[in-house]
Copies of this chain bind each other. A is one copy, B any other.
Amino acid sequence: MGNVTIRILARHLQLSAATVSKALADSHEISGPTKKRVLEMAAALNYTPNPYASSLRRKKSRTIAVILPEVADSFFSQAINGIEAIAQDKGYHVLVCLTHERTLKEQAILHEMLGGRADGILISVTSETTDPASILELQEKGVPVVFFDRVCEGIDTARIVTDDAQSAYKATDHLIRQGCKQIAFLAISEGLSISHQRIEGYKQALTAHGIRFNGSDIIPCTHDAEENLRSLKKIMRQQHRPDGIIASVEKLAVQVYQACREENIRIPEDIKVIGFSNLVTAAYLNPALTTITQPAFEMGRAAASLLFKALGNKSFSLSQNIQVIPSELQVRDSTH
């Protein structure tokens, strides 16, 4: 490819490769005039460094990996935006790796990271993840790992989360105050800590209002939209249909609307709905959806910032570093 390398630059300048390298790195060992000459020649020959040679030599990649279940919902999209913004600012690159909610894929990706592809990892685990082994392994290798949103128990590292339990409490409390007597909670994988937290908050709110918790009000949902829709519609047709629903993730909220429409159930008259969601369109839905809005962008930024702190300062400990960024209850028509 006749690529221009540091050696070629050096030859043109009658300098050594080392000098050129240092000059490009703006090292204090190099004189002003030389730096200037080097920079000019680099521009003239359109020099671009080979990042992999540098990575190999320095044993750092200036790349972070973001490992996510999927990028097709508002939360993760917004989070990526936040992460990328910080990374770009620090001169880092962002590798996006999707697990498609599969632990196996996740483990494969994590294992691969042992090779040093990324200097640090931001991860939101799959809903199946239970085994922390591959993450521990990375940590032992000295690769900092920061969890955001979906954390994995059994690993002591930084976590950026939102106040899941409290938010669920607020949501439930709100529904009860709006007159709901039987509130269904649409849950994804119970293994997931956010799921667990949200369920806890839900239970506590029930208790606080003297309502007995009924296990069958927790509706386990899947990642199969069709399947969810079927179960939701079935619930809507029941004798004792719930009069309130909490959708613990964005997709489920949309599916509730769909189920209600297909079964001719009116929101909020027949059933009140609240969703954990970052939909920009929440206010314009029919009816406007009451949401627990998560600070996705901020969580992304916070997670990345923390990771870069760890990257910049080897003695900085991520351990026990838990940041809780509160979500916001935005009351709209679906719970009137």
Report which A residues bind B (CB closer than 8 A).
Answer: 1, 3, 46, 48-53, 55-56, 59, 61, 63, 70-73, 76-78, 80-81, 84-85, 88, 93-98, 100, 105, 111-112, 114-117, 137, 141-142, 254, 257-258, 261, 279-281, 283-288
Oligomer copy total: 2
Asked if residues B56 and A84 are in contact (CB atoms below 8 Å), the reply is no
Complex: how many Å from CA A143 to CA B225?
39
Apart from A70-B81, A81-B98, A95-B95, 13 more pairs, CB < 8 Å: A46-B137, A52-B56, A52-B61, A71-B81, A71-B84, A73-B77, A80-B96, A84-B98, A85-B100, A93-B117, A94-B95, A279-B281, A285-B286
Asked if residues A116 and B281 are in contact (CB atoms below 8 Å), the reply is no
Q: Name the residue of chain B whose CB is nearest to the CB of A84.
A: B98
Complex: how many Å from CA A80 to CA B53?
28
Complex: how many Å from CA A257 to CA B95?
36
Asked if residues B72 and A77 are in contact (CB atoms below 8 Å), the reply is yes
Complex: how many Å from CA A63 to CA B287?
44
Task: Choose one: B51, B94, B97, B142; the contact of A115 (CB below 8 Å).
Answer: B51
Complex: how many Å from CA A49 to CA B114?
8
Q: Which residues of B contact A257 (CB under 8 A)?
A: 281, 284
Complex: how many Å from CA A61 to CA B258?
44
Asked if residues B80 and A71 are in contact (CB atoms below 8 Å), the reply is yes
Asked if residues A93 and B84 are in contact (CB atoms below 8 Å), the reply is no
Q: Which residues of B contact A59 (CB under 8 A)?
A: 1
Q: Name the residue of chain B whose CB is nearest to the CB of A76.
A: B77
**Residue with the highest number of chain B CB atoms closer than 10 Å, among A56, A76, A287:** A56
Q: Which residues of B contact A73 (CB under 8 A)?
A: 77
Min distance, Cβ A66 to any Cβ of chain B, angstroms? 8
Asked if residues A116 and B3 are in contact (CB atoms below 8 Å), the reply is yes
Q: Which residues of B contact A84 (CB under 8 A)?
A: 71, 96-98
Complex: how many Å from CA A56 to CA B3?
13
Complex: how many Å from CA A115 to CA B48?
5
Q: Name the residue of chain B whose CB is nearest to the CB of A287.
A: B286
Q: Which residues of B contact A72 (CB under 8 A)?
A: 77-78, 81
Task: Choose one: B48, B111, B117, B285; the contact of A51 (CB below 8 Å).
Answer: B117
Q: Which residues of B contact A286 (CB under 8 A)?
A: 284-288
Q: Which residues of B contact A49 (CB under 8 A)?
A: 115
Complex: how many Å from CA A63 to CA B96?
11
Q: Name the residue of chain B whose CB is nearest to the CB of A55.
A: B52
Asked if residues B95 and A93 are in contact (CB atoms below 8 Å), the reply is yes
Min distance, Cβ A333 to any Cβ of chain B, angstroms? 9
Q: Name the residue of chain B whose CB is nearest to the CB of A116.
A: B50
Min distance, Cβ A185 to any Cβ of chain B, angstroms? 21
Task: Choose one: B1, B63, B71, B281; the contact of A254 (CB below 8 Å).
Answer: B281
Q: Which residues of B contact A115 (CB under 8 A)?
A: 48-51
Min distance, Cβ A102 to any Cβ of chain B, angstroms? 11
